[in-house]
Structure formats: C-alpha cells, structure tokens
Structure 1
Amino acid sequence: MPLRDIDDVDRLKKINAALVSRVERSMDQQGNAFSLFQTAISLENRVRNRTEELHATLRRLEQSNIELSAAKENAELANLSKTRFLAAASHDVLQPLNAAHLSVSALAEVQTSEEGRKLVRQVERSLETMEDLLRTLLDISKLDAGVVQPEIGDVSLETLFSSLRSDFQPEAEKKGLSLKFRPVNVVVRSDRTLLRRILQNILSNALRYTRSGGVLVGTRHRGDTIRIDVADTGCGIAEDQREAVFEEFHRGTSTLADGGLAGGLGLGLAIVRRMAAALGHPVTFSSRVGRGTIFHIDVPIGMAAAEPATGIADMDRPRGYG
C-alpha cells in the first residue's frame, strides 16, 4: 500500500475516533440531563406533598386556636359573672353574720360566769375572722370584676398618716413595738380610701410579722412622685417567696424569731396588688430574712404638695433594723 494511502487511513481513524468520542460525550450529557430531570420531578412531588401536609397542619392549628379562644372567652365570661354576682351580693352575704354578731352581743350581756363570757369571746373572735375573710374575698371579687372605680383627688399624707397612727398604735403598744410616722406635709394624687386600705394591709402585715423592734413609715421625693416607705424589723421574706407573697392565701414560709408562725388570712398583699394596679401605683419591696422588709408605694405628687418629703434613710429606723 502506498505511503499516502496509509496516511489517509490513519487520518480517517483519528477522525472516526474523535467522532465516536463526541457521540459518547453527547450521550452522557443527555443521560445526565434526563437524570437531573427525573430528580427535579421527584423533588417537586416531595415539596408538593410537604406543602399540603403543612397547609393541613396549619388548618388544624387555626381550628384549635379558634376553639381555644372560644373556651377562654367562655371561661372569662363565667368568671366575670361570678365576680359580679359576689360583688352585688355582698350585703346579702354579710347580713347573716351581722345578725350573729347581734345575737352574740345579747348573749354576752346575760352571761354571769367567767366560763360563759370566755366562750362568748371565742365565738366573737370566730365571727370576726369569718367576716374579715368574707369582706376580703368580696373586695377581691369587686376588683376583679371592675366594680371598684378609683376616685382620684388630692390626698394629704399628713392626715392619712395621723389616722393610721390612731388605728395601729394600740396594737403596736400591745406587742411592745415602736410605730413611727415621719411628719410630712405632702399631698398626693390618689383615691384616699384605696390608698388607706393599701397602707392598712401593709402595716397590718408588718406588725403581725414583727416580734421586736418596730415599724417605720416615711416618704421620699422621686421625680414627680412620692415614694411611701413602710419598714419593719420582722422575719423578712425569703428570695423564693418574693412573687408568691402577692398570691391569695399565701402566708409565707418565714418563721418569727421565736420559731412560731404569724396568723392572718394570707390575703392582705393580694388586695394590695389589685388596689395598687387599679390606682396605677407601683408597689415593690426589698427584704432580708431575719432583718426585716421595706415596702415602697409610688404615688403621683398632688397639686398642693408643700414641704420636701423625708424618707426612711433620713430618719431613725426602728431599733434592730438593717
């Protein structure tokens, strides 16, 4: 075979090999494209299925939320009806107790023996405790039902403190405690009845949980508010009880100095929180177990505020405090 023919054959072989390689690559690319197409179809189906499942879950969740909202609304309406009923029925609830008080008073007048008078006093104390409990529960119901509407006006703290001193001084003296009110000529904006009740409950707790030392009441200016401080040298409030003390029927776990527990219904601070919320007066406290507690009530300054207020830090604390 001539040399030229051999060269032509070799060239044709190379061309043929190149064509075969190109065809093979083209087939591979077509195969890859088809594989990608199949994968895309599979992913699309999976996404569609997951989307349908998600929509179904969302529909069930929306239905559950609707049912939960309806149940919550029904519960709130039922609770509101209950509290409104209790608030409206307060007179009828307390009337039998008033009649019992009259009967016990009449019975006391005819008792001649010491044993009989002792029994009458026990019955009187039981009736007083029951009446106090009912009145407190009714107060809570009225506050929860929105029946109590604050009547905001100028309140003289000097007059209010004088009234509270007259109420609590006998109890403090009976327990051998000091009870001091810092003289102050300050007027605040509040509802006098509700503010007085707040301070009554805090003072009552302070004297109840204090066995030695005393209770001190003072005020401080804080911007456009007056902070009323009520400090005691009682048993203090444990760290894990700081929030629970405002719950109904909570009497705390701290014991008195002699190891005993104080009395009370555990409703005083529950009333304080509700009344303070109705008035918009923040109530906070600081406490150390075994050393005492200071409650703070922040009240807006009234239109006729006069002398600068003097707080706990500026006056003699009850002995043993701090």
Structure 2
Amino acid sequence: MPLRNINDLEKLKKINAALVSRVERSMDQQANAFSLFQTAISLENRVRTRTEELHSTLRRLEQSNIDLSAAKENAELANLSKTRFLAAASHDVLQPLNAAHLSVSALAEVQTSDEGKKLVRQVERSLETMEDLLRTLLDISKLDAGVVQPDIGDVSLEMLFSSLRSDFLPVAEMKGLTLKFRPVNAVVRSDRTLLRRILQNILSNALRYTRSGGVLV
C-alpha cells in the first residue's frame, strides 16, 4: 500500500506539472495573440496614415496638373497674341517702307552731286536692311501661327551662295571689305526662301559689324 501511494503521488505530480505547463503555454499563446493584436492595430493605424498622406499628395498633384494646364493655355494664348501682333505690325510698317523706297528712287533721279548720290545709296541700303528684318519677323510669325508651312526641297548651296554674292558684294565693296564664299557643291534639304532669309540676316550683320578685313562664308 505505501508503494502504491508513492506511485499515485508521482502520478499526481506529473499530472500537476503537465497542467501547469499547459496553463503556461496557454498564457504564452494568449500573450502572443495579444501582442499580435497590438501589432495589427499599430500596422492598421500606420497604413491609414500613409493612405491619407497618399490621397493628400494625389490631390496636390491633381491641382498642380490643373494649374499647369491653365498656365500652358495662357502661354499659348499669349504666344498667339504676340504672333498676331507681329504679323499686323510687320504689315503696317512695310507699307510706309514701300513708300519710302519710291521716294528715295525719285530722289536718286534728281541727284547730280556725288555726295548726294552717296547719301541716297546709304538710305536705300538702310531701307533694304529694315525691310529684310521686318519680312523675317513676318515669316517667323506666320510659321508660329501655322499659317505658312515650310516648303522643303533640294537646295543647291552653290546657286544660293552665288545669288547672295551678287546681292552683298556691292555692300562689302562700299565698306572696303572683302566678301568670299568657299566653293561648295552640296545640296541640302530645306525651304529655299527661309534659308535664304536666314543667310541674308547673317551676312547683313556680318558686314554691318565688321570694321576691316572681310567676311568669309
């Protein structure tokens, strides 16, 4: 009997230890579950905060896009107004220039002195330079407005340079300058009229601001 009681006591101890262990594991699991619950709540709050920040950023981006679209539209309207103004101004100024050309031509016919003829030629050159600049402005304004489309084709630089040489050589000689063009037989793809106007402006400025020596194209 005593031995049996000892065995029963040992069994009771084991059962008690098992129960204690189970209770401890249960408590640990509950603690882990509570910790996971707290972590989930924290993550949910962080996700909610980040989501609100993202929505706020998206709203700001949408407003920025609206502002940019409005600014672009205003810029396009301003550019169109500028283009129309340049076109109108160029036309208005070209009319009195044509009248001035006629007056200078009439004046040249009645001039007999060398000094008078020289002054008339200077006035003619100034009027021609002004007219070229205004026509260039008019061409640019037409291109900006989409009224004129470039007429792209093959342009012989040799023929173009020959034409420019004929136009500008007298101007260079009057200023005591040399004007030379490098031999070239290339053909480029461009709008002949616009390319000629660009080169005319370059040559006009080169001859105007060159005090001595010459210009090489």
Q: Please identify, of 76-85 and 101-110, the stretch whose mean Cα deviation from structure 2 is larger.
A: 101-110
**Which sections of structure 1, spanning at least 5 residues, go unmatched?**
217-322
Deviation of the 1:58 alpha carbon: 1.1
**Which sections of structure 2, spanning at least 5 residues, go unmatched?**
none
Give the SS at the match of 1:102.
Answer: helix
Deviation of the 1:9 alpha carbon: 2.0
TM-score in terms of structure 1 length: 0.51
The verdict on how the C-alpha distance between 1:147 and 1:132 changes in structure 2, with shifts beyond 3 A counting, is same
Deviation of the 1:27 alpha carbon: 1.0
Deviation of the 1:113 alpha carbon: 11
Deviation of the 1:146 alpha carbon: 2.3
Instruction: Give CA deviations for 1:116-154 in whole Å, capped at 9, x if unaligned.
Output: 999999988876676555444333322322233223344
The verdict on how the C-alpha distance between 1:146 and 1:162 changes in structure 2, with shifts beyond 3 A counting, is same
Contact 1:158 1:185 in 2 (8 A): yes
Give the SS at the match of 1:89.
Answer: helix
Q: Counting strand residues as a fraction of each chain, which structure ranks higher?
A: 1
Contact 2:136 2:197 in 1 (8 A): no
User: 2:123 — aligned with what?
Assistant: 123
The verdict on how the C-alpha distance between 1:22 and 1:5 changes in structure 2, with shifts beyond 3 A counting, is same
TM-score in terms of structure 2 length: 0.71
The verdict on how the C-alpha distance between 1:160 and 1:122 changes in structure 2, with shifts beyond 3 A counting, is closer
The verdict on how the C-alpha distance between 1:77 and 1:188 changes in structure 2, with shifts beyond 3 A counting, is same
Contact 2:129 2:204 in 1 (8 A): no
Contact 1:87 1:147 in 2 (8 A): no
* Structure 1 CA distance for aligned equivalents of residues 19 and 166 of structure 2: 116
Instruction: Give CA deviations for 1:213-264 in whole Å, capped at 9, x if unaligned.
Output: 6554xxxxxxxxxxxxxxxxxxxxxxxxxxxxxxxxxxxxxxxxxxxxxxxx
The verdict on how the C-alpha distance between 1:210 and 1:10 changes in structure 2, with shifts beyond 3 A counting, is farther
Give the SS at the match of 2:189.
Answer: strand
Give the SS at the match of 2:212.
Answer: coil
Deviation of the 1:33 alpha carbon: 0.9
* Structure 1 CA distance for aligned equivalents of residues 77 and 126 of structure 2: 34
Larger radius of gyration: 2
User: 1:209 — aligned with what?
Assistant: 209
The verdict on how the C-alpha distance between 1:106 and 1:90 changes in structure 2, with shifts beyond 3 A counting, is same
Q: Please identify, of 63-72 and 120-129, the stretch whose mean Cα deviation from structure 2 is larger.
A: 120-129
Contact 1:150 1:191 in 2 (8 A): yes
Q: Please identify, of 204-213 and 87-96, the stretch whose mean Cα deviation from structure 2 is larger.
A: 204-213
Deviation of the 1:34 alpha carbon: 2.0
Q: Please identify, of 35-44 and 118-127, the stretch whose mean Cα deviation from structure 2 is larger.
A: 118-127
Deviation of the 1:200 alpha carbon: 2.5
Q: How many residues align?
A: 216
The verdict on how the C-alpha distance between 1:103 and 1:65 changes in structure 2, with shifts beyond 3 A counting, is same
Deviation of the 1:13 alpha carbon: 1.9
Deviation of the 1:65 alpha carbon: 0.9
* Structure 2 CA distance for aligned equivalents of residues 118 and 174 of structure 1: 10
Contact 2:154 2:189 in 1 (8 A): yes
Deviation of the 1:156 alpha carbon: 3.6
User: 2:33 — aligned with what?
Assistant: 33
* Structure 1 CA distance for aligned equivalents of residues 93 and 101 of structure 2: 14
Aligned residues with identical type, % of pairs: 92
User: 1:235 — aligned with what?
Assistant: none
Contact 1:94 1:134 in 2 (8 A): yes
The verdict on how the C-alpha distance between 1:43 and 1:187 changes in structure 2, with shifts beyond 3 A counting, is closer
Q: Is 2:106 the partner of 1:106?
A: yes
Contact 1:151 1:190 in 2 (8 A): yes
Q: Counting helix residues as a fraction of each chain, which structure ranks higher?
A: 2
Question: Pairwise CA RMSD of aligned residues?
Answer: 4.3
Deviation of the 1:36 alpha carbon: 0.5
* Structure 1 CA distance for aligned equivalents of residues 60 and 191 of structure 2: 49
* Structure 1 CA distance for aligned equivalents of residues 211 and 124 of structure 2: 26
Contact 1:152 1:190 in 2 (8 A): yes
Deviation of the 1:90 alpha carbon: 2.7
Contact 2:90 2:137 in 1 (8 A): no
